[in-house]
Amino acid sequence: MSPTDTVTKPPPAAERVYIHVKQAVLDRRYEGGTLLSEGELAEAVGVSRTPVREALLRLEAEGLLKLYPKKGALVLPVSAQEIADVVETRLLVEQHAVAKVVPAGESLLRRLEELLEEQKGHAAAGDLVAFAAADRCFHAEIVRAAGNGILAQLYDQLRDRQLRMGVATMHAEPDRIAKNITEHTEILTALRAGDARSASATVQRHVSWVNNLARGEAR
C-alpha cells in the first residue's frame, strides 16, 4: 500500500456545507429566523454554489430550513408544536425504558455517572452545546440499555431536535443547567436503588419541563 492510500480524503463539498450549516443551526450560531444566502455560505466554506444548493435541500428535507428561490434559506424557528411533539415522544420512550432497565446493571450506572460528571464540567466551563450533548447522551444510554432496538432507533431520530432545543432552553433559562444536573442525579439515585417508580416520575418531571417553556413562548 502506498503512503497516499492511507491519506484521509476530505468530505465532498456538499457534505462540508451540510456539516457547517447543520452544526451552526444546532448550536444557535444560525438562529431561527436567520436568512442564509448561497453566496455567503459558498464563501464561508470555500466551495461553489452548486454543492451549497445540494446541502440546503438536504437540510430542508430534515426540517431545519425553508428554501426561497433567489432569496436563500430561512432557518426555521423551533415551534411550540414541535417541542410538544418531541416531549410527548420522549416521555413514551424514556419512561418505558427507565422502568425496564431496573435493576440497572453496573456498567450502565458507571456510564451515567461519567456523563453526569461530563455535564458538571461543561456547566462549569459555560459550554452549553457540549452540556446539551452530554444531557442527550445520558438519556440515550438508558434507552439503549432497555434493549429494544426499534425504540432506540426511534429515539436516535430525535437527536438533532433534542440538541437544538436543549441549547435554546439553556439560553432561555440558565437556571435549568443546575436543575438538569440535580434531576439527572435523582434519576441515577433511583436506578441505583432499584426504584423504577421514582425513576419514571423523575423522568416525567424532567422531560415535561420543556413544555412550560414552549407555552411561555407561544403566548
Instruction: Write down the pLDDT at residue 120.
Output: 96
Give yes or no for residue 8 having a pLDDT over 70. Answer: no
pLDDT in tens, 17-45: 999 999 899 888 898 899 999 999 999 99
When pLDDT is cut at 50, 70 and 90, the band that residue 70 belongs to is confident
State the pairing for strand pair 72-75/65-68.
antiparallel
Give 6's DSSP letter. Answer: G
Mean pLDDT throughout 209-215?
A: 65
- Within 13 Å, how many C-alpha atoms sit on residue 16's CB side? 16
Is 219's pLDDT higher than 50? no
How far is the C-alpha of 219 from the C-alpha of 214, rounded, in Å? 9
Q: Please state, in angstroms and rounded to a whole number, the distance separating the CA atoms of residues 146 and 103.
A: 11
Half-sphere exposure of 67 (CA within 13 A, CB side): 14
Residue 218: per-residue pLDDT: 37
**pLDDT the model gives residue 7:** 53
What's the pLDDT tens digit per position in 74-125? 999 888 888 889 999 999 999 999 999 999 999 999 999 999 999 999 999 9
pLDDT per position as a tens digit, 131-189: 989 999 999 999 999 999 999 999 998 888 888 888 877 777 788 899 999 999 999 99
